[in-house]
Structure 1
Amino acid sequence: MVCCSGRCTLIFLCTIQLITALERQAFDFLGYQWAPILVNFLHIIVVILGLFGAIQYHPRYVVLYLVWSILWVTWNIFICCLYLDLCGLSKESDSMALGLSSHGSWWKDNSLGCERRDLPTAQWPSGDSPALVSALGCVLEYQYIEVLHSALQLFVSLLGFVSACYMVNIFNEEEDAYLYK
Protein backbone atom coordinates (compact mmCIF):
# COMPACT_ATOMS: atom_id res chain seq x y z
CA MET A 1 0.00 0.00 0.00
CA VAL A 2 1.49 3.29 -1.07
CA CYS A 3 0.89 6.24 1.22
CA CYS A 4 1.33 9.78 -0.02
CA SER A 5 3.07 12.18 2.32
CA GLY A 6 -0.02 14.32 2.96
CA ARG A 7 -2.15 11.31 3.81
CA CYS A 8 0.47 9.83 6.12
CA THR A 9 0.91 13.20 7.79
CA LEU A 10 -2.82 13.51 8.41
CA ILE A 11 -2.97 9.97 9.80
CA PHE A 12 -0.03 10.71 12.09
CA LEU A 13 -1.54 14.01 13.29
CA CYS A 14 -4.93 12.41 13.93
CA THR A 15 -3.22 9.69 15.95
CA ILE A 16 -1.35 12.30 18.02
CA GLN A 17 -4.61 14.19 18.53
CA LEU A 18 -6.34 11.03 19.73
CA ILE A 19 -3.58 10.28 22.23
CA THR A 20 -3.49 13.82 23.63
CA ALA A 21 -7.30 14.11 23.69
CA LEU A 22 -7.62 10.85 25.62
CA GLU A 23 -5.01 12.05 28.11
CA ARG A 24 -6.83 15.35 28.50
CA GLN A 25 -10.16 13.53 28.84
CA ALA A 26 -8.79 11.42 31.70
CA PHE A 27 -7.68 14.48 33.68
CA ASP A 28 -10.96 16.30 33.00
CA PHE A 29 -12.82 13.28 34.38
CA LEU A 30 -10.63 13.39 37.48
CA GLY A 31 -11.54 17.06 37.98
CA TYR A 32 -15.25 16.63 37.17
CA GLN A 33 -15.05 19.28 34.46
CA TRP A 34 -18.16 18.40 32.49
CA ALA A 35 -17.93 20.99 29.68
CA PRO A 36 -14.45 19.85 28.60
CA ILE A 37 -15.50 16.21 28.95
CA LEU A 38 -18.34 16.72 26.47
CA VAL A 39 -16.23 18.73 24.03
CA ASN A 40 -13.33 16.27 24.26
CA PHE A 41 -15.73 13.41 23.58
CA LEU A 42 -16.97 15.12 20.41
CA HIS A 43 -13.37 15.84 19.44
CA ILE A 44 -12.41 12.18 19.82
CA ILE A 45 -15.33 11.09 17.63
CA VAL A 46 -14.56 13.61 14.88
CA VAL A 47 -10.83 12.81 14.91
CA ILE A 48 -11.66 9.12 14.53
CA LEU A 49 -13.89 10.01 11.57
CA GLY A 50 -11.11 12.17 10.10
CA LEU A 51 -8.67 9.32 10.55
CA PHE A 52 -11.13 6.97 8.85
CA GLY A 53 -11.55 9.48 6.02
CA ALA A 54 -7.81 9.72 5.50
CA ILE A 55 -7.29 5.97 5.56
CA GLN A 56 -10.28 5.08 3.36
CA TYR A 57 -10.15 8.08 0.99
CA HIS A 58 -13.48 9.58 2.09
CA PRO A 59 -13.20 13.34 1.55
CA ARG A 60 -16.48 14.10 3.35
CA TYR A 61 -15.05 12.84 6.61
CA VAL A 62 -11.91 14.87 6.08
CA VAL A 63 -14.05 17.97 5.43
CA LEU A 64 -15.95 17.24 8.67
CA TYR A 65 -12.58 17.07 10.41
CA LEU A 66 -11.64 20.41 8.80
CA VAL A 67 -14.78 22.14 10.08
CA TRP A 68 -14.35 20.61 13.52
CA SER A 69 -10.71 21.74 13.59
CA ILE A 70 -11.86 25.35 13.37
CA LEU A 71 -14.24 24.81 16.30
CA TRP A 72 -11.57 22.92 18.25
CA VAL A 73 -9.05 25.75 17.78
CA THR A 74 -11.68 28.21 19.01
CA TRP A 75 -12.38 26.03 22.06
CA ASN A 76 -8.69 25.80 22.94
CA ILE A 77 -8.24 29.57 22.58
CA PHE A 78 -11.17 29.94 24.99
CA ILE A 79 -9.50 27.53 27.44
CA CYS A 80 -6.24 29.50 27.25
CA CYS A 81 -8.08 32.78 27.86
CA LEU A 82 -10.03 31.24 30.73
CA TYR A 83 -7.02 29.91 32.62
CA LEU A 84 -4.95 33.04 32.00
CA ASP A 85 -7.87 35.27 33.13
CA LEU A 86 -7.98 37.11 29.81
CA CYS A 87 -10.96 38.77 28.09
CA GLY A 88 -13.00 39.01 31.28
CA LEU A 89 -12.90 35.24 31.93
CA SER A 90 -11.98 33.80 35.31
CA LYS A 91 -10.48 30.42 36.10
CA GLU A 92 -12.27 30.54 39.47
CA SER A 93 -15.73 30.30 37.88
CA ASP A 94 -17.59 27.01 37.89
CA SER A 95 -18.38 27.24 34.19
CA MET A 96 -16.17 24.27 33.32
CA ALA A 97 -18.16 22.05 35.68
CA LEU A 98 -21.39 23.45 34.14
CA GLY A 99 -22.49 24.50 37.63
CA LEU A 100 -23.10 20.86 38.53
CA SER A 101 -20.29 20.59 41.05
CA SER A 102 -17.72 22.74 42.75
CA HIS A 103 -14.81 20.83 41.25
CA GLY A 104 -12.23 22.34 38.95
CA SER A 105 -9.03 21.36 37.31
CA TRP A 106 -7.48 18.20 38.69
CA TRP A 107 -4.12 19.89 38.37
CA LYS A 108 -5.15 22.53 40.94
CA ASP A 109 -4.55 20.11 43.81
CA ASN A 110 -2.15 17.73 42.06
CA SER A 111 0.14 19.98 40.06
CA LEU A 112 3.72 19.11 39.19
CA GLY A 113 6.14 19.35 42.10
CA CYS A 114 3.53 20.39 44.65
CA GLU A 115 4.15 19.90 48.32
CA ARG A 116 1.08 19.93 50.48
CA ARG A 117 1.70 21.57 53.83
CA ASP A 118 -0.84 22.04 56.57
CA LEU A 119 -0.26 25.31 58.39
CA PRO A 120 -2.05 26.03 61.66
CA THR A 121 -4.14 29.21 61.75
CA ALA A 122 -5.71 30.79 64.78
CA GLN A 123 -6.49 28.54 67.77
CA TRP A 124 -10.09 27.70 68.47
CA PRO A 125 -11.41 29.55 71.52
CA SER A 126 -11.88 26.31 73.44
CA GLY A 127 -8.30 25.18 72.84
CA ASP A 128 -9.28 22.40 70.47
CA SER A 129 -7.27 21.51 67.40
CA PRO A 130 -6.45 24.42 65.13
CA ALA A 131 -7.99 24.90 61.74
CA LEU A 132 -5.66 23.88 58.97
CA VAL A 133 -4.95 25.73 55.79
CA SER A 134 -3.46 23.89 52.87
CA ALA A 135 -0.62 25.72 51.11
CA LEU A 136 0.84 24.51 47.87
CA GLY A 137 4.34 25.26 46.65
CA CYS A 138 4.27 24.13 43.05
CA VAL A 139 6.96 24.16 40.41
CA LEU A 140 4.34 24.79 37.70
CA GLU A 141 0.95 26.19 38.63
CA TYR A 142 -2.16 24.38 37.44
CA GLN A 143 -3.39 27.10 35.09
CA TYR A 144 -0.13 26.93 33.12
CA ILE A 145 -0.46 23.15 32.80
CA GLU A 146 -3.98 23.61 31.41
CA VAL A 147 -2.72 26.31 29.03
CA LEU A 148 0.11 24.01 27.89
CA HIS A 149 -2.41 21.24 27.18
CA SER A 150 -4.47 23.66 25.10
CA ALA A 151 -1.41 25.06 23.34
CA LEU A 152 -0.35 21.54 22.34
CA GLN A 153 -3.87 20.87 21.06
CA LEU A 154 -3.78 24.16 19.13
CA PHE A 155 -0.46 23.34 17.52
CA VAL A 156 -1.44 19.82 16.47
CA SER A 157 -4.89 21.00 15.29
CA LEU A 158 -3.43 23.73 13.13
CA LEU A 159 -1.01 21.26 11.55
CA GLY A 160 -3.91 18.84 11.08
CA PHE A 161 -5.99 21.59 9.48
CA VAL A 162 -3.27 22.37 6.95
CA SER A 163 -2.74 18.67 6.23
CA ALA A 164 -6.49 18.07 5.84
CA CYS A 165 -6.79 21.03 3.44
CA TYR A 166 -4.00 19.49 1.39
CA MET A 167 -5.73 16.09 1.43
CA VAL A 168 -9.08 17.52 0.32
CA ASN A 169 -7.26 19.30 -2.51
CA ILE A 170 -5.56 16.05 -3.52
CA PHE A 171 -8.88 14.16 -3.37
CA ASN A 172 -10.53 16.79 -5.59
CA GLU A 173 -7.66 16.72 -8.12
CA GLU A 174 -7.79 12.92 -8.30
CA GLU A 175 -11.56 13.00 -8.72
CA ASP A 176 -11.33 15.65 -11.48
CA ALA A 177 -8.64 13.67 -13.27
CA TYR A 178 -10.79 10.55 -13.09
CA LEU A 179 -13.94 12.29 -14.30
CA TYR A 180 -12.39 14.13 -17.23
CA LYS A 181 -10.21 11.39 -18.73
Structure 2
Amino acid sequence: MGCCSGRCTLIFICTLQLLLALERQVFDFLGYQWAPILANFVHIIIVILGLFGTIQYRPRYIVVYTVWAALWVAWNVFIICFYLDVGGLSKDSDLLTFNISAHHSWWSEHGPGCVRREMPQAPGIRTTESHSYITVMGCLLDYQYIEVVHSGTQILFALLGFVYACYVVSAITEEEDSFDFIGGFDPFPLYHVNEKPSHLLLKPMYLST
Protein backbone atom coordinates (compact mmCIF):
# COMPACT_ATOMS: atom_id res chain seq x y z
CA MET A 1 0.00 0.00 0.00
CA GLY A 2 1.73 3.12 -1.21
CA CYS A 3 2.09 6.40 0.61
CA CYS A 4 -0.25 8.10 -1.87
CA SER A 5 -3.15 6.04 -0.51
CA GLY A 6 -5.30 6.46 2.58
CA ARG A 7 -2.40 5.40 4.80
CA CYS A 8 -0.51 8.62 4.11
CA THR A 9 -3.68 10.64 4.65
CA LEU A 10 -4.23 8.95 8.01
CA ILE A 11 -0.67 9.79 9.05
CA PHE A 12 -1.36 13.43 8.16
CA ILE A 13 -4.64 13.42 10.12
CA CYS A 14 -3.00 11.89 13.20
CA THR A 15 -0.22 14.48 13.07
CA LEU A 16 -2.76 17.32 12.96
CA GLN A 17 -4.70 15.73 15.81
CA LEU A 18 -1.55 15.65 17.93
CA LEU A 19 -0.87 19.33 17.31
CA LEU A 20 -4.47 20.30 18.08
CA ALA A 21 -4.52 18.15 21.22
CA LEU A 22 -1.29 19.68 22.51
CA GLU A 23 -2.63 23.19 21.87
CA ARG A 24 -5.84 22.37 23.69
CA GLN A 25 -3.97 20.73 26.56
CA VAL A 26 -1.96 23.91 27.18
CA PHE A 27 -5.07 26.10 27.55
CA ASP A 28 -6.88 23.49 29.65
CA PHE A 29 -3.88 23.47 32.01
CA LEU A 30 -4.01 27.25 32.23
CA GLY A 31 -7.69 27.03 33.18
CA TYR A 32 -7.21 24.10 35.60
CA GLN A 33 -9.80 22.06 33.72
CA TRP A 34 -8.90 18.66 35.16
CA ALA A 35 -11.42 16.49 33.32
CA PRO A 36 -10.39 17.80 29.87
CA ILE A 37 -6.72 17.52 30.89
CA LEU A 38 -7.12 13.80 31.59
CA ALA A 39 -9.15 13.27 28.42
CA ASN A 40 -6.57 15.13 26.32
CA PHE A 41 -3.76 13.06 27.82
CA VAL A 42 -5.46 9.78 26.91
CA HIS A 43 -6.25 11.18 23.45
CA ILE A 44 -2.60 12.06 22.83
CA ILE A 45 -1.48 8.55 23.84
CA ILE A 46 -4.04 6.83 21.61
CA VAL A 47 -3.28 9.06 18.62
CA ILE A 48 0.44 8.29 18.97
CA LEU A 49 -0.48 4.60 19.10
CA GLY A 50 -2.58 4.94 15.95
CA LEU A 51 0.20 6.85 14.21
CA PHE A 52 2.70 4.14 15.10
CA GLY A 53 0.32 1.43 13.92
CA THR A 54 -0.22 3.21 10.61
CA ILE A 55 3.50 3.64 9.96
CA GLN A 56 4.41 0.11 11.04
CA TYR A 57 1.42 -1.66 9.43
CA ARG A 58 -0.06 -2.76 12.80
CA PRO A 59 -3.82 -3.08 12.26
CA ARG A 60 -4.53 -3.85 15.93
CA TYR A 61 -3.18 -0.49 17.01
CA ILE A 62 -5.22 1.22 14.33
CA VAL A 63 -8.35 -0.57 15.57
CA VAL A 64 -7.71 0.81 19.07
CA TYR A 65 -7.39 4.27 17.54
CA THR A 66 -10.66 3.74 15.64
CA VAL A 67 -12.57 2.82 18.80
CA TRP A 68 -11.12 5.80 20.63
CA ALA A 69 -12.04 8.13 17.74
CA ALA A 70 -15.71 7.25 18.30
CA LEU A 71 -15.36 7.85 22.06
CA TRP A 72 -13.54 11.12 21.39
CA VAL A 73 -16.43 12.34 19.25
CA ALA A 74 -18.85 11.54 22.09
CA TRP A 75 -16.66 13.39 24.61
CA ASN A 76 -16.48 16.52 22.48
CA VAL A 77 -20.24 16.44 21.91
CA PHE A 78 -20.57 16.45 25.70
CA ILE A 79 -18.20 19.44 25.94
CA ILE A 80 -20.28 21.33 23.37
CA CYS A 81 -23.47 20.58 25.31
CA PHE A 82 -21.76 21.67 28.52
CA TYR A 83 -20.73 25.09 27.24
CA LEU A 84 -24.05 25.68 25.48
CA ASP A 85 -26.06 24.69 28.59
CA VAL A 86 -27.83 21.84 26.81
CA GLY A 87 -29.61 19.02 28.62
CA GLY A 88 -29.43 20.48 32.11
CA LEU A 89 -25.69 21.13 31.92
CA SER A 90 -24.30 24.50 32.94
CA LYS A 91 -21.03 26.11 31.91
CA ASP A 92 -20.97 27.90 35.28
CA SER A 93 -20.70 24.63 37.22
CA ASP A 94 -17.44 23.11 38.47
CA LEU A 95 -18.05 19.81 36.71
CA LEU A 96 -14.91 19.96 34.54
CA THR A 97 -12.74 20.72 37.57
CA PHE A 98 -14.20 17.77 39.56
CA ASN A 99 -15.61 20.38 42.00
CA ILE A 100 -12.09 20.86 43.34
CA SER A 101 -11.93 24.54 42.42
CA ALA A 102 -14.06 27.29 40.90
CA HIS A 103 -11.83 27.77 37.87
CA HIS A 104 -13.36 28.10 34.43
CA SER A 105 -12.13 28.16 30.87
CA TRP A 106 -8.97 30.19 30.35
CA TRP A 107 -10.69 31.91 27.45
CA SER A 108 -13.30 33.42 29.79
CA GLU A 109 -10.78 36.09 30.82
CA HIS A 110 -8.28 36.02 27.96
CA GLY A 111 -10.42 35.78 24.85
CA PRO A 112 -9.91 38.01 21.82
CA GLY A 113 -10.58 41.63 22.74
CA CYS A 114 -11.31 40.89 26.39
CA VAL A 115 -10.40 43.54 28.97
CA ARG A 116 -9.83 42.10 32.43
CA ARG A 117 -10.44 44.37 35.40
CA GLU A 118 -9.97 43.54 39.05
CA MET A 119 -12.53 45.24 41.25
CA PRO A 120 -11.37 46.46 44.68
CA GLN A 121 -12.91 45.29 47.90
CA ALA A 122 -15.62 47.16 49.67
CA PRO A 123 -14.38 49.47 52.44
CA GLY A 124 -14.10 47.93 55.87
CA ILE A 125 -13.60 44.33 54.59
CA ARG A 126 -10.13 42.88 55.07
CA THR A 127 -9.05 39.54 53.69
CA THR A 128 -5.79 37.97 52.67
CA GLU A 129 -6.55 38.82 49.04
CA SER A 130 -6.35 42.34 47.72
CA HIS A 131 -9.21 41.97 45.23
CA SER A 132 -12.61 40.42 45.62
CA TYR A 133 -13.73 39.72 42.05
CA ILE A 134 -12.83 40.23 38.40
CA THR A 135 -14.90 41.65 35.57
CA VAL A 136 -14.27 40.98 31.89
CA MET A 137 -15.57 43.31 29.21
CA GLY A 138 -15.23 43.94 25.51
CA CYS A 139 -14.79 40.33 24.35
CA LEU A 140 -15.21 39.95 20.61
CA LEU A 141 -16.30 36.33 21.07
CA ASP A 142 -17.68 34.72 24.21
CA TYR A 143 -15.46 32.02 25.66
CA GLN A 144 -18.10 29.30 25.36
CA TYR A 145 -18.14 29.68 21.59
CA ILE A 146 -14.34 29.44 21.47
CA GLU A 147 -14.60 26.14 23.37
CA VAL A 148 -17.34 24.98 21.01
CA VAL A 149 -15.13 25.75 18.00
CA HIS A 150 -12.29 23.77 19.59
CA SER A 151 -14.56 20.78 20.19
CA GLY A 152 -16.10 21.03 16.73
CA THR A 153 -12.63 20.92 15.17
CA GLN A 154 -11.77 17.87 17.27
CA ILE A 155 -14.96 16.15 16.11
CA LEU A 156 -14.20 16.88 12.47
CA PHE A 157 -10.72 15.37 12.57
CA ALA A 158 -11.87 12.45 14.72
CA LEU A 159 -14.50 11.55 12.13
CA LEU A 160 -11.97 11.83 9.31
CA GLY A 161 -9.54 9.69 11.28
CA PHE A 162 -12.23 7.11 11.95
CA VAL A 163 -13.10 6.79 8.25
CA TYR A 164 -9.51 6.57 7.04
CA ALA A 165 -8.52 4.23 9.87
CA CYS A 166 -11.27 1.79 8.83
CA TYR A 167 -10.04 2.00 5.24
CA VAL A 168 -6.39 1.43 6.21
CA VAL A 169 -7.26 -1.57 8.40
CA SER A 170 -9.28 -3.06 5.55
CA ALA A 171 -6.46 -2.48 3.05
CA ILE A 172 -3.79 -3.99 5.33
CA THR A 173 -5.98 -7.02 6.05
CA GLU A 174 -6.58 -7.60 2.33
CA GLU A 175 -2.85 -7.42 1.63
CA GLU A 176 -2.10 -9.94 4.37
CA ASP A 177 -4.80 -12.31 3.09
CA SER A 178 -3.55 -12.12 -0.49
CA PHE A 179 0.04 -12.68 0.61
CA ASP A 180 -1.01 -15.73 2.58
CA PHE A 181 -3.01 -17.06 -0.41
CA ILE A 182 0.07 -17.14 -2.68
CA GLY A 183 2.10 -18.97 -0.07
CA GLY A 184 3.79 -16.06 1.59
CA PHE A 185 3.33 -17.62 5.00
CA ASP A 186 3.80 -21.25 3.95
CA PRO A 187 6.58 -22.75 6.12
CA PHE A 188 7.59 -25.18 3.36
CA PRO A 189 7.07 -23.39 0.06
CA LEU A 190 9.86 -25.21 -1.78
CA TYR A 191 8.14 -28.59 -1.51
CA HIS A 192 5.26 -27.37 -3.63
CA VAL A 193 7.35 -26.21 -6.56
CA ASN A 194 8.62 -28.38 -9.45
CA GLU A 195 7.56 -31.63 -7.83
CA LYS A 196 7.64 -34.55 -10.30
CA PRO A 197 7.00 -38.26 -9.80
CA SER A 198 10.14 -40.33 -9.47
CA HIS A 199 9.24 -42.63 -12.37
CA LEU A 200 9.17 -39.63 -14.74
CA LEU A 201 12.66 -38.69 -13.67
CA LEU A 202 13.92 -42.24 -14.31
CA LYS A 203 12.23 -42.65 -17.68
CA PRO A 204 14.88 -40.85 -19.74
CA MET A 205 17.52 -43.21 -18.36
CA TYR A 206 15.65 -46.26 -19.72
CA LEU A 207 15.20 -44.58 -23.11
CA SER A 208 18.92 -43.85 -23.39
CA THR A 209 19.79 -47.52 -22.89
Q: Same fold (TM over 0.5)?
A: yes
| Structure 1 match to 2:200 | none
- The count of aligned residue pairs is 177
Task: Describe how 1:153-172 pairs up with structure 2 within 5 A.
Answer: 153-172=154-173
Percent identity of the aligned residues? Answer: 60
Query: Structure 1 stretches of 5 or more lacking a match?
Result: none
Aligned residues of 1:108 and 1:142 also touching (Cα < 8 A): yes
SS at match of 1:100: coil
The TM-score, its normalising length taken from structure 1, stands at 0.90
Aligned residues of 2:114 and 2:136 also touching (Cα < 8 A): no
Cα offset for 1:135?
3.7
| Structure 2 match to 1:58 | 58
Cα offset for 1:3?
1.2
SS at match of 1:116: strand
In terms of Rg, which structure is larger?
Answer: 2
d(CA) in 1 for partners of 2:62, 2:145: 32
| Structure 1 match to 2:185 | none
d(CA) in 1 for partners of 2:35, 2:76: 12
Distance 1:118 1:102, change over 3 A: closer
Query: Structure 2 stretches of 5 or more lacking a match?
Result: 126-131, 183-209
d(CA) in 1 for partners of 2:89, 2:98: 15
Q: Which amino acid aligns with 1:36?
A: P
SS at match of 2:135: strand
The TM-score, its normalising length taken from structure 2, stands at 0.79
Q: Which moved more, 1:86-95 or 1:41-50?
A: 86-95
d(CA) in 1 for partners of 2:23, 2:32: 14
Distance 1:155 1:120, change over 3 A: same
Matched, 1:139 2:140: yes
d(CA) in 1 for partners of 2:152, 2:113: 21
d(CA) in 2 for partners of 1:26, 1:133: 23
Aligned residues of 1:119 and 1:133 also touching (Cα < 8 A): yes
d(CA) in 2 for partners of 1:99, 1:133: 20
